[in-house]
Amino acid sequence: MNYEFTIIVPVYNEQDCLPHLFDELKAYLGKASVTTKVLFVDDGSSDRSPQLIKEFCLKTDHFNYLLFERNFGKGAALKAAFDHIDTPLLGYLDADLQTYPIDFEKLLPFAGKFDLVTGWRKQRKDTPVKRISSLIGNGVRNFFTKDHMHDTGCPLKIIKTNYAQNIPMFKGLQRFLPAMVLLQDGKIKEVEIPHYPRLAGESKYNFRNRFMGPLLDCFAYVWMKKSYISYKVSEKNE
């Protein structure tokens, strides 16, 4: 099958969410407006997530997996997925189902004209602490990156694969995807999407890793922006 779109799902200790997630992804693949497959990347989970992913993928068409030998972080999970993608478009979805796969249909109409299309969770369904820390984190990133995104960290995105594969790997990668596409002179767009309460499991985020980590990552981004090499060949002789 000639797939056009791959959905990447990074997973870390989400055994309670996975059965529902499997159902939602299977249902979406039957409705998707482009031919779609799914790539799970388990980031060294210590619960039953790797076993559940493996069992599901081995018996279900259009689903594949990568299992890390230990926890490397979400940025590493995304980069590993980028390196294994063979479709012109890729998407990114968190395993906690606070965003749903069907909402890729809100982004896909813009994927031709834009090189990255990201969701905007305008009506957040999070705890007050999570909302405030995300608001601060987005403000800090906007100060450094000037990407003018309302919701840089929204875990529902579509990226042209050639742009994603040119992004250098670093910790906190997922926080800077729009900015890294802009560094390549790409075009980005934000689209409002629904947001839902977490159904099961526990959030992996707190004030420290939503604010202090991103703040330090911003300094790394500033260095990378100054050092980033980008070029386009106008002509070559075969």
The full set of domain ranges for the chain reads: 5-227
Beta bridge partners of 8: 39, 92
User: Could you tell me which residues are beta bridge partners of residue 42?
Assistant: 11, 67
Q: Give residue 80's pLDDT.
A: 93
d(CA 216, CA 213): 5
- The whole-angstrom separation of Cα 160 and Cα 140 is 26
Burial status of residue 58 (CB atoms within 10 A of its CB: 0-12, 13-18, 19 or more): exposed
CA geometry: angle 89, 2, 158, nearest 5 deg? 15
Angstrom distance (rounded) from CA 219 to CA 189: 24
* Kind plus residue range of the DSSP H or E element containing 50: helix 49-59
Contact 165, 82 (CB under 8 A): yes
CB atoms within 10 A of CB 191: 18
Q: What is the pLDDT along the chain (238 residues), one digit of tens a residue?
A: 799 999 999 999 999 999 999 999 999 999 999 999 999 999 999 999 999 999 999 999 999 999 999 999 888 999 999 999 999 999 999 998 889 999 999 999 999 999 999 998 876 655 555 655 566 566 666 666 666 676 777 889 999 999 999 987 777 777 788 888 988 889 999 999 987 766 665 655 555 555 556 666 666 666 666 766 666 667 777 6
Helix pair 213-227, 128-145: axis angle to 10 deg: 20
Copy the structure tokens of residue 186: 């790409």
**What is the C-alpha to C-alpha distance for residues 56 and 50, in angstroms, rounded to an integer?**
10
Token pair of 5 as six digits? 């779109």
Residue with token string 């002179």 = 185
Looking at residue 172, its pLDDT comes to: 72
User: Helices 49-59 and 18-31 sit at what angle, rounded to 10 degrees?
Assistant: 30
CATH 3.90.550.10 fits 5-227, yes or no: yes
157: helix, coil or strand?
Answer: strand
Torsion angle of the four alpha carbons 13, 84, 157, 46, in this order, in degrees rounded to the nearest 10: 0
d(CA 158, CA 24): 18
Q: How many residues does the chain have?
A: 238
pLDDT of residue 237: 73
